[in-house]
Amino acid sequence: MTGPCDGLAVVEVAVGVSDLGLGLAGGLPGRMLADLGATVTRVVGTEPIEIDRGVTWTRSWHRDKQVVATDDPVQIAALLATADVALVYGDEPVVEQRGLGYGDVSRTNPALVYARCRPSRTGAGAVDDFGLLVEARAGFCTQLAGHRPGPTFVDVRAPGSGAAFLLTTSVLALLNRRAATGEGGWADTSLYDGMLATLGCMIGRPERAKPDVESYWQHGSTFPNFLYRCADGELIQVWFGGKGMYVALLDVLGDEPSPNGYYDDQITGALNDRALRWRSLFATQTRDVWIERLRAAGVACEPVLHPGEVLSDPHVTEIGLSVPLVHDGHDDLVAGSPIAVAPLVDHPVEAVDGKPADPSEGPVAVAGTAGGPAPVASGDRLLEGLRVVDFSAFVAGPLGAQVLADLGADVIKVEPPAGEAMRAAAYAVAACQRGKRGLALDIGDPAARPVVERLLDWADVVLHNFRVGVSTRLGIDEAVVGERNPGAVYCHASGFGTGGPRATSPGNDALMQALTGFEVAVGGAGNDPIAGTWIPIDMTGGWVAAIGILAGLYAKATTGRGQQVATSLLGAGMALQSGVFQRDGEVIPGPELDGGQTGYGPGYRIYEAADGEWFALVVPDAAAWERLRGVVVDAVLPATYAPLRGGTDDALARDAELALEVGFKAASAAEWVTRLRAADVLVEPIEPMDRDQFRRGILDDPVNRLLGRVASYATADWGWFEQIGPLLRCGPSAGGGPAGRIPRVGEDTVGVLEELGFDAGAIEVLLGADVARQLRT
């Protein structure tokens, strides 16, 4: 496969680390770079991690990678000496002390882009590289109500997915700098950073805020999920936040009209009452009937599927999100790349002197752009000087632009004069608008056209997440951008992709949780599905959009040609479940959450002790299993190491699980943690905590503040505000963080218009006609 990363050599060093423990972090970055054209060599140890035996997720993550099994640091260093990119995992004895750290390998290969995933460190100390232990230490296990009291094993693998996106983003940002300067560099992250990368809409603390805003950050969402069981027992996810959908839904259901509309019903609680009432209505017809009726009325809905089932959907196949492979005589379907990158125009872009761009001569300024590639100076942030116009709304698009702002880009946020719809959801604004400038403009008004055109001419990157067809109507589609600014990177972050039979379907976080199996995975075997309340797929969509844009910028830097980038919420949601695949028409799920929502088996789950408190236990190998047997003497554990359900030792695993459940009732959680740690068994206590305690644990941790995981700054509306900060740590000379600000509606309108060349008279006309708005302070 060719693509933006064609010709790049990537080496993954995954010696002594677990695929199960790292999750997506250990395989998805290399997979995404391979899908973008890189050649990937994966280095593993000669002795596989025993808990990974039989874990099938790696079939999708490591396909087509060249695997080298070695423990020899000299051999590994030789591979790194000729690599363009290194993805390195593990603790210091396995990496730094063997001469495989950045300081050592960069002396041999100074142009190397080196991304390191280290064990997680907070003020409470270090945690081994197992996502469950990271979640337990932070208290994430306590933040989603399950089917029973107490903490749950939240089967979203948030640490691994977030770390995967941080690693991939960092690599591509550093590659862009290397294309301009020839310099390599390093990036540093962890599973804990990865968990935080998914929680931007969940964690914030204002000095002052409206009661409903502070209540969300302190207690979480009370919004109903609108997930219903139909007459045939199947489940349907409904969403009606789009224009006219609420009225249409009430009509289809035969429910009484709403006098004051959707938002008033939401605020007064009437919507919650309706949501309960609708349960009996949906139970009167089969799911297929409801889907047909609702879609015909313009109401968005999706079937609730298990992980992996969507791979055989015809739309998914047509747009390349499902890839057929043949392996050992079997027909497999695996998740495809969530990112597509191609030249913006179908001919080479001419340089400013009229001569064709020559990629061999390095980056060039191209005709139609505002100054060519962004300047990169020593000490500046990675994207210093890059100009981004962000036409997007809601979460995924704005978060993608915010990631670019965190890396130093100048981002202009364009929204209607009354503000975009998500302004009502302050948590989303806080999580996705940091560091931008605010331009309030009615881009659909003909009088705004000159402004839109100058924005398109000004930008190095144009981003939007409108439904397919809307950008054409507004005159900001890829054809228009390609004609006016052929050297730009144009990104459309859609719901269902830019092509295929469902391209125009509405999509949001809840619908994609249903379609991609996210809700079923979290609910546990045999239970009703449970939705993640922190907008996880929207957040994932934002990171994927940022990665796609950075890949487009790299292609532009190495070819001199503008690029068009396509990402989707559907692709982002499928990436989270990409370890699951189909073989000969059957889903191969890998480890699955049990009905008790405790984990994957006796060696990777949470347990309740005699005092009602809980702890997380990981048993990575047979030696640890023997030590465990020596500690829990009242439990009759089989001598055979059987840490996970579902494999060839499924019966033994289930027997061991039951024995440990009984055995751990003999003492308190604190006692078990002490005993198990004394025996060198991996264990973490799970402290009971509400949302406010959870956010304080993140925002007040001294190590988090030291490492920049917490951003603090003054805001006009909330006073002093604290949130999860930029999590991208890169060097050398990658500069500081973003501007500490969240733009209010129209806060920078006049300044931006002046910068675009409009004089005072023209600006006054736009403001007087309400085509543009300047915030008056």
- The per-residue DSSP string of 134-199 comes to HHHHHTGGGSS--SSSS----TT-HHHHHHHHHHHHHHHHHHHHHHHH---EEEEEEHHHHHHHT-
Task: Look up residue 384 and give its amino acid.
Answer: E
Q: Which of 176, 493, 173, 166 is nearest to 340 (CA)?
A: 493
- CA distances, 591 to each of 55, 594, 596, 643 (Å): 7, 9, 14, 11
> Which residue shows structure tokens 């990537």?
10
Q: What was the pLDDT predicted at 457?
A: 98
Q: Which of 718, 728, 724 is nearest to 705 (CA)?
A: 724
> Which residue shows structure tokens 């009370």?
222
Quote the tokens at residue 201. Answer: 């809409």
Q: Which residues of 476-512 are buried (b: 16+ CB within 10 A; e: fewer)?
A: bbbebbbebbbbbbbbbbbbbbbebebbebbbbbbbb
Q: Measured in whole angstroms, how far is the alpha carbon of residue 333 from the centre of its chain?
A: 23
> Which residue shows structure tokens 């809840």?
510
**Residues with Cβ < 8 Å from 104, sequence gap 6 or more?**
77, 96
Quote the tokens at residue 270. Answer: 């009437």
Q: What is the pTM of this model?
A: 0.96
Q: What was the pLDDT predicted at 224?
A: 87
Q: Which of 679, 579, 731 is nearest to 131 (CA)?
A: 579
- CA distances, 491 to each of 452, 464, 478, 568, 659 (Å): 16, 7, 8, 10, 53
Q: What was the pLDDT predicted at 735?
A: 65
Q: Which of 562, 592, 340 is nearest to 461 (CA)?
A: 562
Spatial separation of the C-alpha atoms in residues 127 and 124, rounded to whole Å? 9
Q: What was the pLDDT predicted at 349?
A: 64
Q: What was the pLDDT predicted at 737?
A: 66
Q: In the chain, which stretches have pLDDT less than 50?
A: 1, 351-379
Phi, psi of 411 (to 5 degrees): -110, 125
Helix axes 536-559 and 569-576, enclosed angle (nearest 10) = 110
Q: What was the pLDDT predicted at 135?
A: 98
Q: Which of 551, 587, 543 is nearest to 569 (CA)?
A: 543
* Distance between first and last Cα of the chain: 54
Q: What was the pLDDT predicted at 742?
A: 95
Side-by-side strand order, sheet with 235-239: 227-229, 235-239, 300-303
Side-by-side strand order, sheet with 581-583: 322-327, 330-335, 581-583, 586-588
Q: CA geometry: angle at 402 spanning 401 and 403, to 5°?
A: 90
Q: What was the pLDDT predicted at 347?
A: 74
